[in-house]
Structure 1
Amino acid sequence: MTYDPTRHLLLTPVDREAPLRVRRLRELGLGERPDPALDAFAARLAQVTGAPYSMVNFIDENRQFFAGLHTPDGTHARQDLKSTAAATAAATGGVSRFMARDHGYCPHVVVRRKALVLEDVCDYPRFAGNPVVDEIGIRSYLGAPLIDRTGTALGTICVVDTEPRPWGRAGLETIKSLAAELVEQIHRREDGGL
């Protein structure tokens, strides 16, 4: 994990599996371009959870890529989500498909290999200082890892909101179930069934 001496918090975790993940994503043909099937899956995620934003997120050593993305207005800006780009994306209503690895909560989910429920990120000092809180306005997060048949954590599925959300146990079970469903779709695609 990296340490921020100004805030005295552990931030983005060290990801020793990233090189293996990148190789596996390349084998699967994932993580480098938007995928209409994954956009459809993200839209379904939003519908099932009632969240305004949802993503199918693949993570490499430096950044996150939303191969599947759903936003309330359906727009996806092309800029990266960091400082001024985040402000531009927010002002235009667009959301980028790229985000720095140290932004957001998905890198924690991938390294921990466990689902994460943050009903109000401001209730958790470790997560409240994340740049997505101030730059994008994220207040709640629900995400689960995508662990494939090789044991590789490929990325995550997640939903976020700009308001606190009571995801609860039902939300946790839902996101874990949907992650398992997407992993099965990825396996079928790899086996030539999709």
Structure 2
Amino acid sequence: MTHDPTGRLLLTPVDTEAPARVRRLRGLGIGQCPEPAFDAFADRLAELTGAPYSMVNFIDENRQFFAGLHAPERPARPADRYMARDHGYCPHVVVRRKALVLEDVRDYPRFAGNPVVEEIGIRSYLGAPLIDRTGMVLGTVCVVDVEPRRWGRAGLDTIKRMAAELVEQIHRREEGGI
């Protein structure tokens, strides 16, 4: 985490890999439009975890894009699947390169002030990075809830397993197998 010159804490981590990630995502042909396969993956992830919201999220220098989304109502327009990079917790997962479990975001000062807490009412988060065979973090898979959740070890294992499964699907797609 960094501070700006005025001494204010910046909650979103610096992401030096973003330009390379964007090139890799474009090369794979993903991360710029919703995809039924990613929506189906998000649906399955929500079912496995019992979460009301689930995403397959790809992140560039400025914003996040939910190429796969499970929500009570899916947005009708692709533009509604974008979120600023400083909103939410997936940018932290990408920079950390490891899973993040927040059972109640308000218990963590670093995360409690995130705009999604007040604007959307997010109270819990569980996410894991999508790290491909080149070592690039492409994005994340995550689930969120508007209530505190005890994700526990089972939740962490599930999100990590599902991230690995999706990366394998992306690799098969790259090889022409899907």
Q: TM class by shorter-chain length?
A: over 0.9
CA RMSD of aligned residues (A): 1.7
Q: Which residue of 2 aligns with 1:21?
A: 21
Query: How do 1:25-40 residues align onto structure 2 when only pairs under 5 Å count?
Result: 25-40=25-40
Q: Give 1:50's aligned amino acid.
A: G
Q: Which residue of 2 aligns with 1:41?
A: 41
Q: Give 2:74's aligned amino acid.
A: T
Write the distance in 1 (CA, Å) between the matches of 2:62 and 2:68: 19
Q: Is the 8 A contact 2:34 2:78 kept in 1?
A: no
1:76 deviates by: 1.1
Unaligned runs of 5+ in 2: none
Q: Is the 8 A contact 2:33 2:78 kept in 1?
A: no
1:6 deviates by: 8.8
Unaligned runs of 5+ in 1: 81-95
Alignment TM-score, normalising by the size of structure 2: 0.95
1:171 deviates by: 0.5
Q: 1:110 to 1:121 in 2, by over 3 A?
A: same
**Which digits, 9 at most, give the CA deviation of each residue in 1:110-150, with x for residues without a partner?**
00000000000000000000000000000000000000011
Query: What's the secondary structure of 1:24's corresponding residue?
Result: helix
* Among 120, 137, 143, the residue aligned to 1:153: 137
Write the distance in 1 (CA, Å) between the matches of 2:177 and 2:52: 31
* Among 124, 148, 151, the residue aligned to 1:164: 148
Q: 1:5 to 1:105 in 2, by over 3 A?
A: farther
Q: 1:7 to 1:138 in 2, by over 3 A?
A: farther
**Which digits, 9 at most, give the CA deviation of each residue in 1:142-178, with x for residues without a partner?**
0000000110000000000000000011100110000
Q: Which residue of 1 aligns with 2:3?
A: 3
Alignment TM-score, normalising by the size of structure 1: 0.87
Q: 1:135 to 1:31 in 2, by over 3 A?
A: same
Identity %: 81
Q: Which residue of 1 aligns with 2:74?
A: 75
Q: Give 1:162's aligned amino acid.
A: V
Q: Which residue of 1 aligns with 2:62?
A: 62
1:75 deviates by: 2.5
